[in-house]
Amino acid sequence: QMPRGNLETVHHRALVLAQIRKWLDRDEDFTKTMYPSLYSTSNDQPRHQPEQKKVNLICDVMRAAMECIDPEKYCLSILTAHVKKNPPELETALQKVHDLRENISPHAAAVSAEEALKYLLFLVDVNELYDYSLGTYDFDLVVMVAEKSQKDPKEYLPFLNTLRKMETNYQRYTIDKHLKRYTKALGHLSKCGPEHFSEFLNLVKDQNLYCEALKLYSSNTQEYKDISSLYGEYLMEKQLYEQAALILARAGIFAKALDAFLNSGSWQQALCMASRLGYTKDKLSNLARSMAGKLVEQRKHAEAAMLLEQYTEDYEEAVVLLLEGAFWEEALRLIHKYDRLDILETNFKPAIVEDYEVPNCPEFDLLSETSSVVTPSDMSSRYSHSNSRISARSSKNRRKAERKRYSLKEGSPFEDMALLEVLGENVRAVDSVRGDVHVLLKQLVLFGFDEQAEGLQQVLEEVLQLMETSIPEIWTPALQQSSLNPVLGPNSTANSIMAAYQQKRMVAPAVQDPELLVAPKLNKNLQWKLHLFQ
Amino acid sequence: QMPRGNLETVHHRALVLAQIRKWLDRDEDFTKTMYPSLYSTSNDQPRHQPEQKKVNLICDVMRAAMECIDPEKYCLSILTAHVKKNPPELETALQKVHDLRENISPHAAAVSAEEALKYLLFLVDVNELYDYSLGTYDFDLVVMVAEKSQKDPKEYLPFLNTLRKMETNYQRYTIDKHLKRYTKALGHLSKCGPEHFSEFLNLVKDQNLYCEALKLYSSNTQEYKDISSLYGEYLMEKQLYEQAALILARAGIFAKALDAFLNSGSWQQALCMASRLGYTKDKLSNLARSMAGKLVEQRKHAEAAMLLEQYTEDYEEAVVLLLEGAFWEEALRLIHKYDRLDILETNFKPAIVEDYEVPNCPEFDLLSETSSVVTPSDMSSRYSHSNSRISARSSKNRRKAERKRYSLKEGSPFEDMALLEVLGENVRAVDSVRGDVHVLLKQLVLFGFDEQAEGLQQVLEEVLQLMETSIPEIWTPALQQSSLNPVLGPNSTANSIMAAYQQKRMVAPAVQDPELLVAPKLNKNLQWKLHLFQ
């Protein structure tokens, strides 16, 4: 044994060769692996695409050169070039071996088919090569590979004989299936006639090959319809109701399509299906009323009202829904269309006054807590009529659940970030409410509720002014710079890093959520105020 | 003359007193003026509100104390407390002077009315006090002030005599108008009866007092209607058509209101006015067709189609408009509602195929220029059906015109910021296009254009993947930190500041547009792809 300290200086030839081999084997882009940029490593996925291209390119170029100079002399190297590609071109290689046996070369130096096959077996696993030979559907080639391999003829010959007896397409389907090449198998099976169609459908279902199956039949065939029906069921199970409905509808399976469209909330398409199914007026009316109910649950009042007016002829209920959804002008249109001005007094005016009377909920905004001006508590959700109220609220909650990384609790590590987040949300909510308030103001004025309208305009104006003066106080230019001060970097010291660790601020939240540091922008162009109260 | 160097040490008594007087006179919040924070000065407007409050508070407290102890003794100081408020309470002060004359005090030390008035005239400009005395409508007081002043009786007595002869309300109106107190003048004039109403309307028009005028009459009066008519004309001149229409409509001036609603594009309200005016079916149909034309110009196809279907009974044209606006499902609904499946072949299918064939415009996105993947040129404007195409484009251009502070030209000072801006716009545009593409994909599949749909899904998928890998390469964490490196600050040196000046980077653009440094976020939750092509 040599002294330990000298071990590092020993370069045994075999070890050196092994190392060089490893290096030569490496197929890497040094700009990516040896000199990665400081910042891009964490984000970049390793890219195999260009590296594979490099190997394939070299294989192709080498092979072309060898085939040009002397294909017989370089026969084995050419086979190597095929095999080393990614994915390996085993079928082509096998075909060349096959050709060698067919056309025996007069050259003395020429490689025999047997030699070539032996060589291939040295490069490729025998079972893999056998499978590939099967995949050429060329039984001569299969036998040749099998013979050269260590395979037992009792094992493969009966299988080959069974295959030989089959009709060509069914034979190929059987081979494809054996090789798990299901798409090819499907193609061959589709040519085997109607007696094999149930087998076809089973394969489609087992292997989820709906799209591939549909491509094999013309859309006016019964087979296309059957596949579509199966695909529709599958998509329904996956809860992809609308896509199921589309697949069913285009195959003419209208009843199932109607159900699927109902499930997906596609009420217009559901009406189309009802029409295709020849629904009577009564049946259509019932369908419309049921869909309107669902739409109201989703706070889609305008659509629901349209269904009730046009398909059930219940314009009164339609007006009620429009008022519930704060579609004031559409409600007015129906009231006048049916000449029912009495509804103005009984429903319309009470509705706009009710909408004006913003509920005094116990939950107050942060903005109103930190200031003397009381922000109408949930103004934004109350007035966000453009979206449905319920869905707007639930999606908002979901978003909050997703994003609330920082705790508002006093003294929590990122209390400042939490405050920025909530304040930003509030500012944006109040800013976006102006459009809805403008619409309500107009209705209040139209029906003479000037006092209420003036009050509403004034409250919102005050809140907006408060926000405008508060924004530069909250989002100071200093905020951006100080919070972005990196923990590591040329200006950091051992002490500053330790301090950062102790504050658990190692991952600067500013870098995680840079948008929290950007002041929300108010849309100053929106003319929401009425001249009457200015 | 003293030697120059000693001048600074001289404190002449008069100068010192003058300086102290100045200091005492100051009414400032030292936290705002002497110790302004480093960052808030540039943004904060000077705040007069709290300072005024301070003076007013002290005046009120002092006055209350003096009135409690001995109002007669402190009479002049009490007057001072009234006058020094902001705004000065001159009427109250004058009233006290007046009271002094009415109730002569038995006290020897009591101040006489004459003394008090003299004192007031010392504090307040005589003309101002005269105007205020006029404003009390108390002619005794007026004469008293006039007498104590240097005013010529030949000047004021004829005017006072004319006033004395007038009916009370008209007299007060005349005084208010003389004092330019137009709102008060309007109130008194409104009580002078119908013979003065044209004078009333003239004053309203001259002084833009429409809102104040409307408050003086009940909404069912002819006067209210006349004021509304005048206000409507004024708002029309100001191009506030919708507000004009609302004012006219609520006063029952329906024909003018209809015109104004038409001008503002409020088609539903216009229909309501037509109903109020008792339009015949034919007249209503013509109105609807004309409004539909305007709506199409604004690319509001859904509304236009609704008008044609429901008010002109031209559902064929309605379908054509819906297809033009890419409202596929609504078009299908009408086609089925009227059982005109032939339109599917003649119009529907050609329309979806046309919409699929995105024009190959010469203008390419920056993204496509810098990469090998061709982004469908103006995908976003093409597919942004949710807004109108024209308005979306023009508003986009307007926004660009507003914001393009940085030039994309190679080598321009903020080329990097310009690139970030344009790349961000492109990413957001492509990201937002997915919803529209999803809607089109469904129609293509429904009508069997699977090949086109698959191609479209694939192209968008590739662009989105390119964007996803490009975003962390464009918006690196380093970008935020390096660009935010302040020119000034604790780490700056004379050299670094000079260098920044020479680069014309003194105002760091990062601080001006911090949102450009924040990577756009892709909405990964949107399921836009169809299962059929996955």
Is the predicted pLDDT of residue B190 greater than 90, yes or no?
A: yes
Q: How high is the pLDDT of residue B17?
A: 65
Task: Identify which of A246, A514, A533 has the shortest CB distance to residue B442.
Answer: A246
Q: What digits encode the pLDDT tens for the residues B291-337?
A: 999 999 999 999 999 999 999 999 999 999 999 999 999 999 999 99
Please report residues of B whose CB lies closer than 8 A to that of A219: 448
Q: How high is the pLDDT of residue B527?
A: 87
Is the predicted pLDDT of residue B9 greater than 90, yes or no?
A: no
Can you tell me the distance from the alpha carbon of B475 to that of B479, in angstroms, rounded to the nearest whole number? 6
Contacts of the segment A423-426: beta carbons below 8 A, 24+ positions apart: A423/A366, A423/A367, A423/A474, A424/A516, A424/A520, A426/A365, A426/A366, A426/A367, A426/A375
Can you tell me the distance from the alpha carbon of A51 to that of A44, in angstroms, rounded to the nearest whole number? 15
Is the predicted pLDDT of residue B215 greater than 80, yes or no?
A: yes
Helical H segments across A277-385, by residue range = 281-297, 301-311, 315-324, 328-337, 342-343, 349-356, 366-369, 379-383
Least confident of A454-463, B4-13, B193-202, B414-423: B4-13
For B365-370, what is the mean pLDDT? 44
Please report residues of B whose CB lies closer than 8 A to that of A240: 531
Q: How high is the pLDDT of residue B371?
A: 40
Instruction: Flag whether residue A490 sits within 8 Å of chain B, measured between CB atoms.
Output: no
More confident residue, B21 or A284: A284
More confident residue, B504 or A235: A235
Instruction: Flag whether residue A481 sits within 8 Å of chain B, measured between CB atoms.
Output: yes
Least confident of A18-32, A38-52, B230-244, B508-522: A38-52
Inter-chain contact B531–A240, Cβ cutoff 8 Å?
Answer: yes
Instruction: Flag whether residue B490 sits within 8 Å of chain A, measured between CB atoms.
Output: no
Please report residues of A whose CB lies closer than 8 A to that of B266: 329
Q: What digits encode the pLDDT tens for the residues B98-128?
A: 888 777 777 766 788 888 888 998 899 888 8
Task: Identify which of B272, B329, B442 has the shortest CB distance to residue A332.
Answer: B272
Query: Which residue of chain A comes nearest to B251, CA vs CA?
Result: A446
Q: How high is the pLDDT of residue A357?
A: 79
Instruction: Flag whether residue B276 sits within 8 Å of chain A, measured between CB atoms.
Output: yes
Query: Which residue of chain A comes nearest to B445, CA vs CA?
Result: A246
Q: How high is the pLDDT of residue A506?
A: 46
Q: How many CB pairs under 8 A join A and B?
A: 135
Interface of A with B in 101-140 (CB under 8 A): none
B95, B137 contact by CB (below 8 A): no
| Mutation choice for A interface testing from B273, B303, B336, B533 by most A CBs within 10 A | B336
Tens place of pLDDT per residue across chain A (534 aa)? 455 555 455 566 666 667 666 665 675 555 455 554 443 444 444 445 566 788 889 899 999 999 999 888 899 999 999 999 988 898 889 888 888 877 777 776 678 888 888 899 889 988 888 888 898 888 888 888 888 777 888 888 998 999 999 999 999 999 999 999 999 999 999 999 999 999 999 999 999 999 999 999 999 999 999 999 999 999 999 999 999 999 999 999 999 999 999 999 999 999 999 999 999 999 999 999 999 999 999 999 999 999 999 999 999 999 999 999 999 999 999 999 999 999 999 999 999 998 887 643 333 344 444 443 333 334 443 444 443 333 333 334 444 444 566 777 777 777 888 888 889 888 888 888 899 899 999 999 999 999 999 999 999 999 999 998 999 888 887 776 655 555 555 666 677 666 666 654 544 555 567 778 888 888 887 889 999 998
Give the distance from residue B272's alpha carbon to the nearest chain A alpha carbon, in angstroms. 5
Closest CA relative to residue B479, chosen from A513, A39, A479: A39
State whether residue A160 is helix, strand or coil.
helix
State whether residue A43 is helix, strand or coil.
coil
Query: pLDDT-derived band of residue B481, with 50, 70 and 90 as boundaries?
Result: low
Contacts of the segment A84-90: beta carbons below 8 A, 24+ positions apart: A84/A55, A84/A59, A85/A55, A85/A56, A85/A59, A85/A60, A86/A52, A86/A55, A86/A56, A88/A124, A90/A124, A90/A128, A90/A129, A90/A132
Query: Which residue of chain A comes nearest to B266, CA vs CA?
Result: A329
Q: How high is the pLDDT of residue A24?
A: 58
Please report residues of B whose CB lies closer than 8 A to that of A447: 250
The phi-psi region of residue A111 (left if phi > 0; otherwise alpha if psi is between -120 and 50; otherwise beta) is beta
Q: How high is the pLDDT of residue B406?
A: 76
Interface of A with B in 405-444 (CB under 8 A): 442
Cα angle value B529/B532/B534 (rounded, 5°): 60
Instruction: Flag whether residue B337 sits within 8 Å of chain A, measured between CB atoms.
Output: yes
Q: How high is the pLDDT of residue B68?
A: 92
A382, A390 contact by CB (below 8 A): no
Cα angle value B93/B95/B98 (rounded, 5°): 115
Q: How high is the pLDDT of residue B51?
A: 66
For B39-65, what is the mean pLDDT? 69
Is the predicted pLDDT of residue B487 greater than 60, yes or no?
A: no
Please report residues of B whose CB lies closer than 8 A to that of A246: 442, 445-446
Task: Identify which of A333, A472, A484 has the shortest CB distance to residue B480.
Answer: A484
Query: pLDDT-derived band of residue B407, with 50, 70 and 90 as boundaries?
Result: confident
Q: How many other C-beta atoms lie within 10 A of the C-beta of residue A360?
A: 9
Instruction: Flag whether residue A369 sits within 8 Å of chain B, measured between CB atoms.
Output: no
For B4-29, what is the mean pLDDT? 61
Inter-chain contact A238–B271, Cβ cutoff 8 Å?
Answer: no
Is the predicted pLDDT of residue B245 greater than 60, yes or no?
A: yes
Closest CA relative to residue A457, chosen from A478, A476, A434: A434
The domain segmentation of chain B, as residue ranges, is: 51-165, 281-300+308-324+332-354, 357-475+519-533, 487-517
Q: How high is the pLDDT of residue A401?
A: 45
